[in-house]
Amino acid sequence: MSAAKHDWSSGLYLKFEDERTRPARDLLARVPVEGPRRVVDIGCGPGNSTELLAERWPDAEVTGFDTSPDMIAAAKKRLPGLRFEIADAAGWEPAEPVDVIFANAVFQWLPTHPGILRRLMGFLAPGGALAVQMPDNRAEPSHRLMDETAAVMPFAAKMTGAGRGLLPSAAFYYDLLCGEAAGLDIWHTVYNHALADAAAVVEWVSATGLRPYLEPLDAAEQQEFLAAYRNAIAAAYPPRADGKVLLRFPRLFIVARRG
C-alpha cells in the first residue's frame, strides 16, 4: 500500500480479504521461480499476500515492507515468524540480490513507478522474477464517479487531483521492461465480484481509492460527498437477479524474469 495523509486501515481493507487476495494468488501462480532463497513482498499490506509467498516457498527467507504502520502491525500479528518493516518502494534497496520481488496492488499509487520497476529489475538474482499486479479500474464507474461527484461539490477545489492517474497500456510496460527481461508475461484479468449491494461497493473503495477524496474534507463535507457518491453508485450498480451487484474490476499483471 502507498503512503497516505492518514494511515491505512487494515481492518477495513480485510473486509473483502478473499476478493483482494485472489489477484495475488493468480499472480503468484505465474511466477516461474522454484526454490528461491530470498523473496520480498513490496507493499505487503496486512500480510495476506505475504502468507501466500511463505506457503509456496516455505524454505525461503520471505520478508515484507509497507509504508503503513497499521498494515505492518497487522502483518506482524498475522505472521509472527516473518520479518516486516516500514519502507518505501521508491527508495528501497536490498542488501543482496533477491530471487522474487512481489508487488500486489502497490504501484498504481506511485506516478513514478515505471522507473521504479526498471530499478527493481536490477535487484534480481539471475533467474529471478519481478511480479506485479495493479488495478486498472480508473475508467470503471466505481472510480469515475468519484471524480464526477467531486466536481459538483461546493468544496470541489479541496479534492483537486485526488484520483490517481490512468495506467499506461500493456504495450508501454512491454517496451519498458523487455530490454531488462529474459522472459516477459503481461496480461489483463477482469474480475466480476458479486457483492451484497451497492453500499458494499462504497465500503470496498472506502479502504483504498476513496480515501484521497475524503481526507481533505471536514466531517460535514465528507458526509455530503459520501451521500452523493452512494446515490451515484446505486444507479451505476443495479441489483442482479439474486439482489447482489457485480463490481467489475480490471487488473494488469506483469511477470518479468531476469536471465
- Hunting for cell 476513496 — which residue is that? 210
- What is the torsion angle, in degrees rounded to the nearest 10, for the CA atoms of residue 41, residue 21, residue 148 and residue 172? 50
Q: What is the pLDDT of residue 15?
A: 64
DSSP secondary structure letters along 149-182: HHHTSTTGGGGTT-SPPPPPPHHHHHHHHTTT-S
Domain ranges of the chain: 10-257
Rounded to whole angstroms, the Cα distance separating 4 from 208 reads 10
Query: Could you tell me the pTM of the whole model?
Result: 0.91
Q: State pLDDT tens for residues 60-80.
A: 999 999 999 999 999 999 999
- Domain at 10-257, CATH from 3.40.50.10110, 3.40.50.150, 3.40.50.2300, 3.40.190.10: 3.40.50.150
Q: State pLDDT tens for residues 178-235.
A: 999 999 999 999 999 999 999 999 999 998 899 999 999 999 999 999 999 999 999 9
